[in-house]
Amino acid sequence: MSSNFKAVVINNQNEKFSREIKEIDASHLKDGNVLVKIDYSSLNYKDALILRDGGKIVRKFPFVPGIDFSGKVIESDDSKFKKDDNVILTGFRVGEAYFGGFAQYAKVDSNFLIKTPKELDNKKVMMLGTAGFTALLCAFAVKAREELLLGEKVKEVLVTGATGGVGSIAVMILSKMGYNVHAVTGKKDKNDYLKNLGAKNILDRKEFEGESKLLEKGIWDGVVDTVGGPALTKIFAQTKPTGIVAACGNAGGIKINTTVMPFIIRGVKLWGIDSSAAPITRREFVWNEASKLIDFEKLKSFTNELSFNELLETYPKLLKGEYFGRAIVNPNK
């Protein structure tokens, strides 16, 4: 590699936050034992928070954000990875504590990487990115009701925040798994979009507002909740016996007001999804299943490819809820 490369750099000097595209020296790549030439990264909600003002996440400056990437190994001190291996990185605090994916190169710990499955390529895996990986983990958590817990077969599944990155991909995956997917959204103009992804039914998010009984009629065998907050109270009350609620988001709030009744009367399971720290064996399994569960032509239809300049123009729209679809970042565009 050349001694300099292009990256998005955020800084916070004298409490003045900045973000710019810069040429930085390769000597700044001090983390880890595998050097990767990045092909693609993706724009996630957490990335947008960090690009805005650090999001109370990044503590050291100047810093290169980007919580995921795919690319080719250039150099490796670990025999598990050889030159030209295609690799995936999501989570492990890369882009938060370690220099991340909004750059042409990254150097990371080999324990953070997995090889890109042969059925996929580096563009496809970042079309999924952290959002898609999280959606896959949520879907397999719901599926665990009939496999690990030996419960009745999953049939009716609810997905909240269904037009978001995680929600959209979750709708696609759960439909492919053969479940009846009920998609919750506040965007009435996206009904056709959700049905094209495989949703059987569209519900207005207002239906989950307001007071809830301790237990309501059991409707859902499984739930993928990407929103969090007060709506979970009613969702728990409507989940069937031995049902699983996979929770992965908090855009609707970090607090929930519920009782123990759904958990001790119906045996409902609240399954927290932490995609950032998922173990390597689980990552390898999930990524290898992706090609069977994702319609990449549909995914491509709502994915935009951004340059670094376009990334800096786009992230505020994501924070305001004005951006729709997936965004991949090409550092070489």
What local confidence, expressed as pLDDT, does residue 3 receive? 84
Q: What is the pTM of this model?
A: 0.95
In the three-class reduction of DSSP (H, G, I as helix; E, B as strand; rest coil), residue 194 is classed as helix
Question: Per residue in 301-326, pLDDT tens?
Answer: 999 999 999 999 999 999 998 899 99
Q: What does the block give as tokens for 68?
A: 């995921």
- How confident is residue 14, by pLDDT bands cut at 50, 70 and 90? confident
CA distance 186 to 289: 31
Instruction: Show Cβ contacts of residue 122 under 8 Å, excluding neighbours closer than 6 positions.
Output: 39, 40, 70, 71, 72, 86, 88, 116
Q: Phi and psi at residue 75, in whole multiples of 5°?
A: -140, 145
- How confident is residue 5, by pLDDT bands cut at 50, 70 and 90? very high
What local confidence, expressed as pLDDT, does residue 211 receive? 87
CA distance 60 to 99: 10
Query: What percent of the chain clears pLDDT 90, i.e. is strictly above it?
Result: 91
Length of the chain in terms of residues written: 333
Domain ranges of the chain: 4-116+302-329, 130-272
Instruction: Show Cβ contacts of residue 310 under 8 Å, excluding neighbours closer than 6 positions.
Output: none
| Averaged pLDDT for residues 168-187 | 97
| Averaged pLDDT for residues 75-92 | 98
CA gyration radius, the chain = 20
CA distance 213 to 154: 24
Helical (H) or strand (E) element with 137:
helix 122-147
As a whole number, the mean pLDDT across the chain is 96
Task: Output DSSP code: residue 207.
Answer: G
What local confidence, expressed as pLDDT, does residue 195 receive? 97
What local confidence, expressed as pLDDT, does residue 76 receive? 98
Can you state the percent helix, strand and coil of the chain, rounding each to 5? 35, 30, 40
Write the CATH number of the domain with boundaries 130-272.
Answer: 3.40.50.720
| Averaged pLDDT for residues 109-131 | 98
Is 1.20.1530.20 the CATH number for 4-116+302-329? Answer: no
- How confident is residue 148, by pLDDT bands cut at 50, 70 and 90? confident
CA distance 22 to 20: 6
Name the residue type at position 327.
Answer: A
Does residue 2 have a pLDDT over 90? no
What local confidence, expressed as pLDDT, does residue 96 receive? 97
CA distance 318 to 183: 20
Does residue 210 have a pLDDT over 90? no
Question: Per residue in 39-71, pLDDT tens?
Answer: 999 999 999 999 999 999 999 999 999 999 999
CA distance 133 to 121: 15
What local confidence, expressed as pLDDT, does residue 15 receive? 82
- How confident is residue 32, by pLDDT bands cut at 50, 70 and 90? very high
Q: What does the block give as tokens for 61?
A: 């400056």
CA distance 57 to 52: 11
Question: Per residue in 228-283, pLDDT tens?
Answer: 999 999 999 999 999 999 999 988 899 998 999 999 999 999 999 999 999 999 99
Contact 327, 299 (CB under 8 A): no
